[in-house]
C-alpha cells in the first residue's frame, strides 16, 4: 500500500509541475510583455502609476489591436524619396531645429502610414501600433513630436532627432537597420541654445 502511494505521489508531482508551467506560460503579460516592449513597458507602467496589471492590460490590448499588422513594401522610388526627405530635414536642423523636427514628425507619420500602420489624426493610435512592432524605437518619435511644440532647447531637440532616426531606419528597412549611418552629422555638430 505504501509503495502504491509513493508511486502515485511520484507521478502526480511531475504532472502538477507540467500543469503549472503550461498555465503560467499561457498567461498574458509578465515577462513576455516586458521582453517584447522593453522600454515601452516601463513607460506604460510609469504612466499607470506603477500599476503593472493595468499597464499589462493596456499592452495586451495593443497587441490584440495591432499585432496582426504587416509592413507593406516600399518601392525603391519611395524609399529614395524618404531618404532624401530625412537628409533635407537633417540639413535643415542647423538653421532651424524646430522646423526640422516638424518635418521629421510629418515624415515619420507618412512613412509609418505607407508601411501599413494607422494613418489617421491620432498620434497616440499610431505610436501604440508602432510600439507593438518597434517598441525599442518609438520613443524617439514621441520625443520629436513633443519637442517640436514645446520650449525644448536645441540640444534636447538634437537628441530627439537623433533618437528618431532609429524608427526611421526601422520603417525604411526590410531588415535590421544600421543605426549609426545617418546620425554622424548631428552627433558631431552639437548646437547650443
Same domain, 107 and 167: yes
What's the pLDDT score for residue 6? 62
Q: Give the structural domain span for 116.
A: 76-188
Residues 139-171 pLDDT 10s: 999 999 999 888 789 999 999 999 999 999 999
- Say if residue 129 is in the same domain as residue 153: yes
More confident residue, 145 or 119: 145
> Is 60 exceeded by the pLDDT of residue 41?
yes
Question: In this structure, are 107 and 147 located in the same domain?
Answer: yes
Please report the pLDDT score of residue 28 as a whole number: 47
- Whether residue 18 is found in the same domain as residue 81: no
Q: Mean pLDDT over residues 111-125, rounded?
A: 89
Same domain membership, residue 175 and residue 119: yes
Grid coordinates of 4: 502504491
pTM for this one?
Answer: 0.73
Residues 83 and 62 in one domain: no
What per-residue confidence (pLDDT) applies to 174? 66
Residues 106 and 180 in one domain: yes
Residue 193 is assigned to a structural domain of this protein: no
The last residue of one of the domains, among 41, 66, 91, is 66
d(CA 138, CA 21): 33
Same domain? 31 vs 105:
no
The reply to whether 71 falls in a domain is no
Q: How would residue 71 be classed by pLDDT, with cut points 50, 70 and 90?
A: confident
93 pLDDT more than 80: yes
Q: Quick one: 85 exposed, middle or buried, by C-beta within 10 A (0-12, 13-18, 19+)?
A: middle
pLDDT of residue 66: 92
**Same-domain pairing of 81 and 62:** no
Last residue of a domain, one of 14, 45, 66: 66
- For the residues 69-80, what does the mean pLDDT come to? 92
16 has pLDDT over 80: no
pLDDT given at position 69: 87
Q: Is residue 158 located within the same domain as residue 182?
A: yes
Write down the pLDDT at residue 26: 38
Query: How many structural domains is the chain composed of?
Result: 2
Q: Do 119 and 37 reside in the same domain of the chain?
A: no
Mean of all residue pLDDT scores within the chain: 81
Same domain (yes/no): 32, 86: no
User: Does some domain include residue 28?
Assistant: yes
The average pLDDT across 87-103 equals: 95
Residue 90 in domain: yes
The answer for residues whose C-beta is within 8 angstroms of residue 33's C-beta and 6 or more apart is: 41, 56, 59, 60
Amino acid at each position: 500500500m505504501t509503495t502504491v502511494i509513493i508511486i502515485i505521489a511520484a507521478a502526480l508531482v511531475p504532472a502538477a509541475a507540467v500543469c503549472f508551467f503550461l498555465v503560467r506560460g499561457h498567461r498574458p503579460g509578465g515577462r513576455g510583455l516586458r521582453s517584447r516592449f522593453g522600454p515601452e513597458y516601463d513607460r506604460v507602467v510609469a504612466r499607470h502609476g506603477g500599476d503593472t496589471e493595468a499597464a499589462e492590460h493596456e499592452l495586451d490590448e495593443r497587441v490584440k489591436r495591432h499585432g496582426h499588422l504587416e509592413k507593406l513594401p516600399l518601392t525603391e522610388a519611395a524609399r529614395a524619396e524618404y531618404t532624401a526627405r530625412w537628409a533635407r530635414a537633417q540639413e535643415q536642423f542647423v538653421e532651424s531645429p524646430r522646423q526640422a523636427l516638424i518635418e521629421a514628425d510629418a515624415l515619420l507619420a507618412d512613412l509609418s502610414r505607407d508601411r501599413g500602420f494607422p494613418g489617421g489624426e491620432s498620434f497616440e493610435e499610431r505610436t501604440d501600433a508602432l510600439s507593438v512592432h518597434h517598441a525599442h524605437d518609438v520613443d524617439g518619435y514621441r520625443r520629436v513630436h513633443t519637442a517640436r511644440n514645446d520650449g525644448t532647447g536645441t540640444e534636447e531637440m538634437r537628441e530627439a532627432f537623433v533618437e528618431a532616426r532609429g524608427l526611421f531606419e526601422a520603417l525604411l528597412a526590410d531588415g535590421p537597420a544600421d543605426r549609426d549611418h545617418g546620425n554622424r552629422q548631428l552627433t558631431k555638430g552639437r548646437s547650443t541654445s
